[in-house]
Chains A and B, each alone.
Chain A
Amino acid sequence: MLGMLFSILIFPGLLFVSVFGLSVEYIDRKIYARLQNRLGPPWFQPVADLIKLLAKEDIIPKAANQNMFKLAPLFALTAVVTAFLYIPLWNKESLFSFNGDIIVVLYLLTIPTLAFFIGGWYSTSLYARIGSVRSLTQLFAYEVPLFMGILSSALLAGSWSLKEIINFYAGHNWFWFFNLLGFAITLVSFLGKLEKTPFDIPEAETEVVAGSFTEYSGRLFAFLRLTLDVEMVVGSALLAAVFLPFGFSLPPVFAFVLFMIKILFIVSLISLLRTIVARLRMDQMIDFCWKFMVPLAFLQILINLIIKGIILR
């Protein structure tokens, strides 16, 4: 019981994932700044931002629905921190592994988007409402290639549990190489989930102020920012576990360090992508997702089915 509480609250739960999320935010911002040929923020910047926001006044608009407005950020943060518990960090099995946990992680990663929608909608500000409707519209575009990309890897392994998938790729060395197309698709759709630059239409500063976060201030906004950081960690960890499934048979410490390096590699890919591209319009984004990403995801599934039918028979 005590051990379970420790793993939920401290390691690898809330405390560890928050600290790791903040450091990932620093790395993301630093890479972004260096690629723009500037110095970038100092190492303590995300921590200072978080403490400052926690100590600021909480304003709740009179017209807003009090409960929904307050609960949405907490729901979002809880969902992403819970999702992290199902990802294997230092061996082939996560702490609470069961058959179908990959679906649970994907489902828990969808909740923050819905929470942003609910929080933005019930804050009754016009900008927040436009932003939240945009984030929901976007959800229907990137979610399909994201699920197809991740599940194509599971299809090759023939299982919906992360443990079985990692076991399969440990038995079939270099088979993860066939999934590189799926990896690219998932990475790009994941930018939409994180609301990062090519797909940051919901919180486009030049159009809708700050999207669904417009009315949030103080502590609640701090939770929302932390949610986005942790979501980045969880998503990168899921991608690392599914698409780069090697090195889990090493001794736990080395496997853990290797896994962290993999996460940081995926985070730097995300920062690189968000630096080199500009924001799309909503219709362009939906066109891009349905016309290019979904057919490519089908191609990936086809490749995996052919490999499964010919090589693995």
Chain B
Amino acid sequence: MSLVKKIVTWARIKSPWILHFNTGACNACDIEIIAALTPRYDLERFGIILKGTPRHADILVCSGPVTSQIKDRLIRIYEQMPEPKFVVAVGTCACSGGVFDGCYNVESGINAVIPVSAYIPGCPASPKAIIDGVVKLLTSLEEKEEAIKR
């Protein structure tokens, strides 16, 4: 049983498919996320593929503060993803709400609405920082599995 679990964990770490969702960002973080997916950084090396539908995705990459307009949509997209799923908040606004925190139409950062696994600060976060954040999330998964085993 533990061998099967080990193989499944290995597969999950080696093949994270991401879904990119703009929750109200100014577009700067989105441009950086797209830049991270270009052949220059070649994320397919780590098995990362950008998917169009939440049904295929493992990691939801969100950028921007959650506006009241997008809140219901964000929850719906999150619920459409099959388990196990993780959320990465890219950019200062997604982490904490940034300069928009406290605005009448903004609900703070992503973690005010759905659980977040990794935070990548920066305004905007550079592609290298995004890749580093995703790799750290994956290694933390591995460590978590190790901890459960012990």
Could you list which residues of chain A lie within 8 angstroms of chain B, going by C-beta atoms? Answer: 29, 33, 36-42, 44-45, 47-52, 55-59, 127, 205, 209-210, 213-218, 221
Establish whether residues B47 and A51, one from each chain, have CB atoms under 8 Å apart when the complex forms: no
Please give me the residue from chain A that is nearest to B55 by CB atom: A217
Establish whether residues A48 and B15, one from each chain, have CB atoms under 8 Å apart when the complex forms: yes
Establish whether residues A52 and B11, one from each chain, have CB atoms under 8 Å apart when the complex forms: yes
Could you list which residues of chain B lie within 8 angstroms of chain A, going by C-beta atoms? Answer: 7-8, 10-12, 14-15, 39, 42, 44-45, 47, 51-53, 55-56, 58, 80, 82-84
Tell me the dominant secondary structure on chain A's binding face.
Answer: loop
CA–CA, A210 to B51, complex, Å? Answer: 8
Residue of A39, A48, A57 touching B10 (CB-CB under 8 A): A48
The 6 residue pairs across chains A and B that have the minimum distance between CB atoms: A51-B11, A57-B82, A48-B14, A38-B42, A217-B55, A52-B11
Establish whether residues B82 and A56, one from each chain, have CB atoms under 8 Å apart when the complex forms: yes
Further contacts, 9 of them, CB under 8 A, given A214-B53, A214-B55: A38-B45, A45-B47, A48-B10, A48-B11, A51-B7, A51-B8, A51-B11, A59-B82, A218-B82
Q: Give the one of A36, A51, A127, A216 with max B CB within 10 A.
A: A51
CB-defined contacts of A39 to chain B, threshold 8 Å: 42, 44-45
Establish whether residues A36 and B39, one from each chain, have CB atoms under 8 Å apart when the complex forms: yes
CA–CA, A47 to B12, complex, Å? Answer: 11
Establish whether residues B56 and A221, one from each chain, have CB atoms under 8 Å apart when the complex forms: yes
CA–CA, A203 to B45, complex, Å? Answer: 23
CA–CA, A59 to B78, complex, Å? Answer: 13
Residue of A36, A38, A49 touching B15 (CB-CB under 8 A): A49
Establish whether residues A52 and B39, one from each chain, have CB atoms under 8 Å apart when the complex forms: no
CA–CA, A57 to B83, complex, Å? Answer: 5
Establish whether residues B44 and A38, one from each chain, have CB atoms under 8 Å apart when the complex forms: yes
Taking A36-B39, A38-B44, A57-B82 as contacts, is the C-beta distance between A52 and B12 under 8 angstroms? yes
CB-defined contacts of A57 to chain B, threshold 8 Å: 82-84
